Structure 1
Amino acid sequence: MAVSDEQAVRELEGRRFRAIMEGDLAAFRNLAHPDLTYTHSSGALDTLESFLEKCESAYFVYHRIDHVTGSATVVGDTAVVVGDMRVDMTAGGTRRELSNRSLGVWVRMEGKWRILAHQATAKR
């Protein structure tokens, strides 16, 4: 049985969070669109390269990421994934516990889904 686009994107969403958590930056890069926009709950913005540099330099250290995908909507070659995430991380030397809503935008590029945008919004 073929995997639906929605199922594929849900699986990829899980893979990207596992890659970040495990420090597998090559796997994350393989899932990312070259023009990735990564917006943090603080409002800080990263490109693919600046995000990877911060992970490589241990500016960002992820201790735990619990991510639950709520919805995944596919329209043509674009998918929007909404979820909830709890993150235990160190950013710039400060340990943080975050509770965020997340939005991921995936695009199909040359037959392969790539994460184009990530937006984290703090839950109040």
Structure 2
Amino acid sequence: MLLFRLLIVTAALCAAQDKAAILALDKQWSDAIVKSDTATLGKLLADDLVYAHATGIIDTKKSYIAKIKERRQVYKSFEQHNPQVNIYKDSALTFSHVRVTGTNQAGVFDDKIMLIHFWVKINNAWRLAGHQTTKIDKIP
């Protein structure tokens, strides 16, 4: 019985640690996009990343980092609200509402979006494998 309780406590602690790690990685990602830190993005993004913008444009890891590096996508601010994390063994899903500002090839943007990130554990390291945003009228 004691062993069973220890296993439950250990599993709960691991899940809490994974949730904290994913939230920290989401923060590293948002800091990196605002700072145009392509080196950090290179480490965080999975090689087979699918990056779906609210505009319908789809980027790969290579094309997204190139946009940041070439200043075709510049983020001025990124305000995340009430992030939620669900862990599924070696994958995690985050959901939040965001206000993001900056410039891109279409001009200046000041968007309110729903953001979903899909993180996967590859060789014992979490990597962002999926990004999807949808424009919304207001942040709840």
Q: TM-score range by the shorter chain?
A: over 0.9
Task: Tell me how far apart the structure 1 counterparts of residues 134 and 19 of structure 2 sit (CA, whole Å).
Answer: 23
Q: In structure 2, what residue type is equivalent to 1:20? A: I
Q: Which runs of 4+ in 1 moved over 3 A?
A: none
How far 1:93 moved relative to its partner?
Answer: 5.3
1:10, 1:69 within 8 Å by CA — same for their partners in 2? no
1:38, 1:118 within 8 Å by CA — same for their partners in 2? yes
1:33, 1:114 within 8 Å by CA — same for their partners in 2? yes
Task: Tell me how far apart the structure 1 counterparts of residues 70 and 32 of structure 2 sit (CA, whole Å).
Answer: 16
1:69, 1:81 within 8 Å by CA — same for their partners in 2? no
In our comparison, the structure showing a higher alpha carbon Rg is: 2
Number of aligned residue pairs: give it. 124
1:16, 1:28 within 8 Å by CA — same for their partners in 2? yes
Partner of 1:90: 103
Task: Tell me how far apart the structure 1 counterparts of residues 106 and 135 of structure 2 sit (CA, whole Å).
Answer: 20
Task: Tell me how far apart the structure 1 counterparts of residues 31 and 110 of structure 2 sit (CA, whole Å).
Answer: 18
Partner of 2:68: 55
Q: CA RMSD in A?
A: 1.5
Q: Could you say which structure has the higher helix fraction?
A: 2
Determine which of 1, 7, 13 is the counterpart of 2:26: 13
Q: In structure 2, what residue type is equivalent to 1:68? A: H
TM-score by length of 1: 0.94
Higher RCO (CA < 8 A, seq sep 6+): 1
Identity %, equivalent residues = 25
Q: Could you say which structure has the higher strand fraction?
A: 1
Partner of 2:128: 115
Q: Which runs of 5+ in 1 are unaligned?
A: none
Q: In structure 2, what residue type is equivalent to 1:89? A: G
Q: Which runs of 5+ in 2 are unaligned?
A: 1-12
How far 1:89 moved relative to its partner?
Answer: 1.0
Task: Tell me how far apart the structure 1 counterparts of residues 41 and 77 of structure 2 sit (CA, whole Å).
Answer: 16
Q: In structure 2, what residue type is equivalent to 1:116? A: A
Q: 1:8 to 1:69 in 2, by over 3 A?
A: farther
What are the Cα deviations for residues 75-110 of structure 1, in whole angstroms up to 9, with x where unaligned? 110000001111111011500111000000000011
How far 1:70 moved relative to its partner?
Answer: 2.3
What are the Cα deviations for residues 4-59 of structure 1, in whole angstroms up to 9, with x where unaligned? 11110011011101011111110011011000111101111000000011111111
